């Protein structure tokens, strides 16, 4: 059945095909298998992408005409707060982690993760967080904004328990992510296949480890901040209050370290997925993979250090501002190298413009706009004009929609055959892609003008016609609906393809890493036989060995056939 079995040197117990004793959903829900946990994470995060879109559309409807009265200001602020929490904690981070958690153990030839219970608990903490956040709609969701800055988020100014629900949800989710990150980084550290030295580790697995270490650093910082806010609100603390001894700015320092890290995590996951997709669909090895891995690591280190780049209007010393600017501008190098190397990989290749590569190119285009626009927000005097205008909204959305939605969809199309044994419909993917590309441009490019040119401020539930931004907001509103239509098409495509997609082979795209060595979908134990890894492209070695065997050995030129597990190099 699998390529592995045909080359197997010794029999193994194969645990496939046992009759299932419990319903499938019970099996899934109680499973600590990384593939089940990963698939639930991915499916749930895509569900929350849909909810985030609904919230975005309601807000854009309110902002489609000047002085609209469609939504009350409080309702708008609540939608805004839930939208931000959903996008960050329930969609972008768990999607990245879900992809890592599914693919990395397969890529490194592991049969399970090192600490599977942690991953399982992490998943359930995340689902609990989502429940807490959305249960808020039964009473009063948070109205303190995407990043609930104290003192506004203190009890004195918002007495209902929406902010408590936000804090509980963000805290539970972050705790879950930390547990998953512990499992993931331990797995990469301890359970690599024989012969898979760090230098042979696939880029996406490197990114899984880097992203986990990043989360282990920035996650606790947010947990600390949330704990202090909860103490303030519920136990009479005074960490962030505006009174005599409080330090409202401390919250901004702590949370911006986390949010910068989360931004980096999303982009690291996207670029790393592209570093798997682009070579596979260009039929060409990645251009200088060492530099790609180094760039991903540099982004993980530098981005959280650029946290003051978000605080250039706050009363902090000019030295801190220059520090944030320096770190932000230093990111030009690793991001530039990633763009260069991915494009250089395609040059001279044979590009199969299938859905994963198409969405991958869309991700590169969209992320490039978002990152380039950040330049104006990094240079201090320019940021004094641009910060907290909708120009910032546009820059952040281009980067994060590029990373999490386009990049996430590229990864989804790429690994969907592995996860389900079926391929996602290609023609619907194409229509969805072009709709989304048009949508993101229409929805967010006009905001560059409204923000930079006319100073429209963020988070405002209405604007006045005399501000001159009516046309741009109307276009943005229409664009949001186009974007949403495109996203929904891909979500529908995924659901439909679960049952009716064309059957996929084990190695759908001609990939070079070990997940394509397993069956599609892989059995519970992933591999019957784990091959010895002798290069950074283990599957290519196997393919070449098989081809050679079919042709018959040419004396003196044959490469040694990959041996089953255990044999020494």
Partner 1 sequence: MLGAWAPAAAADALSPGPAASPAAEEGIVLYWIAFALATVFVVAILATLLYVARKYRSERGAEPRRIRGGAKTQARVGAALGALATVALVIGIVFTESAERTAETGPRGLLTDNERQTLEITATGQQWLWRYDYPNGAFSYYRLVIPVDTRVNLDLVSTDVVHGWFVPALGGKRDAVPNKTNELAIRVDEEGVYRGDSAVLSGTSYTAMRTAVEVVSPEEYEDFVARLKFDIDQAQEEATSRLVGGGAQ
**Interface residues for partner 1 in 210-239 (CB under 8 A)?**
none
Buried residues in 490-527 as b, exposed as e (16+ CB within 10 A): bbebbeebeeebeebebbbbebbbbbbbbbbbbbeebb
Binding segment for partner 1 (CB under 8 A), chosen from 222-230, 348-356, 416-424, 508-516, is: 348-356
| 368 binds partner 1, rule: CB under 8 A | yes
Cα separation, 513 vs 280, whole angstroms:
10
Q: Are 440 and 401 a contacting pair, CB within 8 Å?
A: yes
Q: Which of 231, 382, 498, 525 binds partner 1 (CB under 8 A)?
A: 382
CB of residue 149 to partner 1, shortest distance in Å: 5
Calpha distance 52→353 (Å, rounded)? 29
Question: Segment 278-297, which members bind partner 1 (CB under 8 A)?
Answer: 282-288, 291
Q: In the complex, what is the shortest distance from the CB of residue 415 to partner 1, in angstroms, rounded to a whole number?
A: 21
How many other C-beta atoms can be found within 10 angstroms of the C-beta atom of residue 24?
A: 8
**Terminal CA-to-CA distance of the chain, rounded, Å?**
26
Q: Closest CB to partner 1 among 19 and 317?
A: 317
212 burial via Cβ count (<10 Å: 0-12, 13-18, 19+): buried
Among 47, 66, 194, 349, binds partner 1 (CB under 8 A): 349
Rounded CA-CA distance 110/540 in Å is 19
The answer to whether 377 touches 458, Cβ cutoff 8 Å, is: no
Site for partner 1 in 389-418 (CB under 8 A): 389
Min dist CB 280 to partner 1, Å, is 12
Among 326, 327, 321, residue whose Cα is nearest residue 308: 321
Q: Is 73 in the site for partner 1 (CB under 8 A)?
A: yes
Other C-beta atoms closer than 10 Å to the C-beta of 383 total: 24
In the complex with partner 1, the residue whose CB is nearer, 77 or 435, is 77
Which of these segments, 183-191, 253-261, 461-469, 485-493, binds partner 1 (CB under 8 A)?
461-469
Are the CB atoms for 373 and 452 separated by under 8 Å? no
Instruction: Round to whole Å and give the CA distance between 166 and 88.
Output: 12
Candidate residues 14, 159, 353, 503; the one interacting with partner 1 per rule CB under 8 A: 353
Interface with partner 1, residue 372, by CB under 8 A: yes
**Stretch of 118-126, 253-261, 358-366, 553-561 lying at the interface with partner 1 (CB under 8 A):** 358-366
Cβ distance to partner 1 smaller for residue 130 or 442: 442
Q: Please tell me whether residue 379 binds partner 1 under the rule CB under 8 A.
A: yes
Q: Is 449 in the site for partner 1 (CB under 8 A)?
A: yes
Q: Which is nearer to partner 1, 95 or 273 (CB)?
A: 273
Residue 30 binds partner 1 (CB under 8 A): no
- Residue 384 contacts partner 1 per CB under 8 A: yes
Residue 95 and residue 517 in contact, taking contact as beta carbons nearer than 8 Å: no
What secondary structure letter does DSSP report for 72? -
Which region among 19-27, 53-61, 366-374, 515-523 touches partner 1 (by CB under 8 A)?
A: 366-374
Q: Which string of DSSP letters, residue by residue, matches 197-209?
A: -GGGS-HHHHHHH
Pick the piece of the chain touching partner 1 (CB under 8 A) from 9-17, 93-101, 328-336, 497-505: 328-336
Residue 204 in contact with residue 167, Cβ under 8 Å?
no
Distance of CA 475 to the CA centre of its chain: 28
Interface with partner 1, residue 248, by CB under 8 A: yes
Q: Which CB, 206 or 481, lies closer to partner 1?
A: 206
Among residues 30, 131, 336, 549, the one that binds partner 1 under rule CB under 8 A: 336
58 binds partner 1 (CB under 8 A): no
Verify binding: residue 250, partner 1, rule CB under 8 A.
no
Distance from CA of residue 58 to its chain's centroid?
A: 24
User: Using the rule CB under 8 A, which residue among 70, 160, 213, 352 binds partner 1?
Assistant: 352
Q: Kindly state the smallest distance separating residue 376's Cβ from partner 1, in Å.
A: 4
Of the pair 467, 545, the CB lying nearest partner 1 is at 467
Please say which residue, 372 or 438, places its beta carbon nearer to partner 1.
Answer: 372
Is 136 a binder of partner 1 (CB under 8 A)? no
DSSP state of 317: -
| Least distance to partner 1, CB of residue 150, Å | 8
Measured from the CB atom, the residue of 95 and 373 that comes closer to partner 1 is 373
d(Cα 257, Cα 334) in Å, to the nearest integer? Answer: 19
Q: Rule CB under 8 A: is residue 194 a binding residue for partner 1?
A: no
- Which one of the spans 151-159, 480-488, 507-515, 539-547 is the region binding partner 1 (CB under 8 A)? 151-159
Rg (CA), the chain: 24
- SS3 at position 422: strand
Shortest spacing between CB 426 and partner 1, in angstroms: 14
Q: Contact at 8 Å (CB) between 153 and 161?
A: no
Q: Is 204 exposed, middle or buried (0-12, 13-18, 19+ CB in 10 A)?
A: buried
- Are 301 and 330 contacting, i.e. CB atoms less than 8 angstroms apart? no
Distances (CA, A) of 398 to 390, 391, 487: 12, 11, 15
Determine which residue in the list 318, 547, 554, 568 makes contact with partner 1, applying CB under 8 A.
Answer: 318
* Beta carbon of residue 328, minimum distance to partner 1 (angstroms, whole number): 9
Question: Looking at 343, 492, 495, 503, which residue binds partner 1 (CB under 8 A)?
Answer: 343
What is the rounded distance in angstroms from the CA atom of residue 490 to the CA atom of residue 493?
Answer: 5
CA-CA distances (angstroms) from residue 371 to 7, 127, 257, 392? 47, 31, 18, 11
Does 474 interact with partner 1 (rule: CB under 8 A)? no
Shortest Cβ 315–partner 1 spacing (Å):
4
């Amino acid at each position: 059945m699998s390529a592995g079995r045909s080359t197997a040197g010794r029999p193994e117990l194969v645990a496939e095909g046992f009759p299932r004793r419990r319903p499938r959903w019970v099996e899934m829900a109680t499973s600590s298998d990384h593939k089940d946990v990963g698939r639930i994470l991915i499916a749930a995060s895509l569900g929350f992408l849909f909810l985030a879109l609904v919230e975005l559309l309601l807000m854009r409807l309110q902002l489609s005409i000047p002085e609209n009265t469609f939504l009350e200001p409080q309702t708008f602020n609540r939608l805004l707060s839930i939208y931000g929490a959903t996008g960050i904690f329930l969609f972008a981070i768990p999607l990245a982690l879900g992809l890592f958690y599914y693919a990395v153990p397969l890529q490194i030839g592991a049969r399970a993760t090192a600490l599977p219970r942690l991953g399982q608990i992490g998943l359930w903490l995340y689902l609990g967080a989502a429940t807490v956040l959305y249960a808020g709609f039964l009473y009063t969701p948070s109205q303190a904004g995407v990043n609930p800055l104290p003192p506004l988020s203190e009890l004195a100014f918002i007495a209902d328990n929406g902010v408590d629900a936000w804090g509980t949800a963000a805290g539970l989710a972050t705790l879950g992510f930390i547990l998953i990150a512990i499992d993931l980084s331990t797995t990469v550290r301890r359970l690599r296949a024989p012969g898979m030295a760090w230098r042979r580790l696939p880029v996406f697995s490197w990114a899984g480890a880097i992203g986990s270490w990043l989360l282990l650093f920035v996650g606790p910082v947010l947990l600390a901040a949330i704990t202090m806010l909860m103490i303030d609100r519920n136990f009479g603390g005074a960490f962030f209050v505006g009174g005599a001894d409080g330090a409202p700015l401390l919250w901004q320092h702590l949370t911006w370290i986390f949010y910068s890290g989360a931004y980096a995590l999303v982009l690291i996951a996207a670029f790393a997925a592209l570093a798997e997709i682009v070579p596979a669909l260009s039929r060409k090895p990645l251009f200088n993979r060492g530099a790609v891995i180094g760039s991903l690591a540099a982004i993980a280190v530098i981005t959280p250090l650029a946290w003051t780049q978000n605080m250039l209007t706050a009363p902090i010393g000019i030295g801190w501002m220059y520090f944030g600017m320096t770190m932000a501008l230093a990111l030009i190098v690793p991001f530039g190298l990633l763009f260069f190397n991915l494009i250089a990989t395609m040059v001279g290749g044979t590009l199969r413009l299938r859905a994963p590569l198409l969405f991958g190119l869309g991700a590169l285009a969209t992320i490039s706009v978002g990152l380039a626009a950040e330049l104006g927000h990094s240079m201090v005097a320019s940021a004094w004009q641009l910060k907290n205008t909708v120009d910032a909204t546009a820059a952040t959305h281009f980067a994060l929609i590029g990373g999490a939605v386009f990049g996430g969809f590229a990864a989804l199309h790429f690994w969907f055959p592995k996860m389900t044994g079926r391929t996602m419909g290609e023609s619907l993917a194409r229509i969805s892609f072009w709709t989304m590309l048009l949508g993101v441009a229409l929805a967010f490019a006009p905001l560059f003008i409204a923000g930079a040119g006319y100073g429209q401020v963020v988070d405002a539930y209405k604007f006045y016609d005399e501000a001159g931004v009516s046309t741009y907001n109307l276009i943005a509103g229409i664009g949001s609906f186009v974007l949403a239509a495109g996203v929904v098409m891909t979500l529908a495509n995924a659901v439909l393809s679960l049952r009716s997609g064309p059957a996929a082979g084990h190695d759908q795209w001609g990939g070079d890493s070990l997940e394509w060595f397993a069956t599609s979908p892989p059995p519970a134990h992933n591999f019957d036989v784990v091959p010895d890894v002798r290069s950074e492209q283990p599957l290519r070695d196997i393919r070449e060995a098989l081809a050679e065997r079919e042709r018959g050995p040419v004396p003196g030129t044959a490469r040694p056939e990959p041996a089953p597990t255990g044999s020494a190099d």
